[in-house]
Amino acid sequence: MKIMYNNKRKGFIAFVVMFMLVIFALMGIAYWASSRASTDTLYMESQRLKARNYAQAGIEKVKLNMCNMCQRTNKFDMRMSSSQKNKMSKEFEDGGYRIVSIQPFAEGNTEFKNVKHIVKGRVIGEFDVWEVVVEGYTTKTKTCVEIKHIIRIYRDNIVY
């Protein structure tokens, strides 16, 4: 038995298969590009969070130094020289933090140093307000985050 093919339909199946392969290839490329973009975005976000955590570690280091200094002396000045900043900065394997500045908080011309601490109309001590600026960074992506933090240090005269 001999099968006869219609000459008008010759190559139609090959054309449909090739068309479907091109469509599936384009969909695969689009999926790959979308996946790659979201992976890169997530990686950059994780590096930004890591830099922020390093900067927060620097803030905690400054708080610890302030508490130690406050326990040693009643009056203290936390303004830093460049050598002290280098001592307080910390380098880790994949990033670190730098102390940018520690200075008394000022609003206008008013500096908040030795402000009376009043509770129920009675002066019980003094407090200072300090503005601390710390920069956290990562080495792989050169991500840098700066945190400004305001710290209030109380020096109360405790009466038992």
Query: What is the tens place of the pLDDT at every residue in 56-74?
Result: 999 998 888 887 777 776 5
Q: What is the mean pLDDT of residues 28-34?
A: 96
Angle value at C-alpha 151, between 129 and 155, nearest 5 degrees: 60
Query: What is the tens place of the pLDDT at every residue in 74-122?
Result: 556 666 666 666 777 888 889 999 988 888 888 888 777 777 777 787 7
**Percentage of residues in the chain having pLDDT higher than 70:** 82
How high is the pLDDT of residue 120? Answer: 81
Please state whether beta strands 106-107 and 110-111 pair in parallel, antiparallel, or not at all (unpaired).
antiparallel
Contacts 24+ apart (CB under 8 A), 84-89: 88/58, 88/61, 88/62, 89/58
For the chain, what are the domain ranges? 51-156
User: Pick from 87, 65, 61, 88: which is nearest to 76 by CA?
Assistant: 65
Please state whether beta strands 90-92 and 95-104 pair in parallel, antiparallel, or not at all (unpaired).
antiparallel
Cα 6 to Cα 72: distance, rounded to the nearest angstrom: 101
pLDDT band at 43 (very low <50, low <70, confident <90, very high): very high
Contacts of 110 (CB under 8 A, 6+ apart): none
pTM of this structure: 0.72
Number of residues that make up the chain: 160
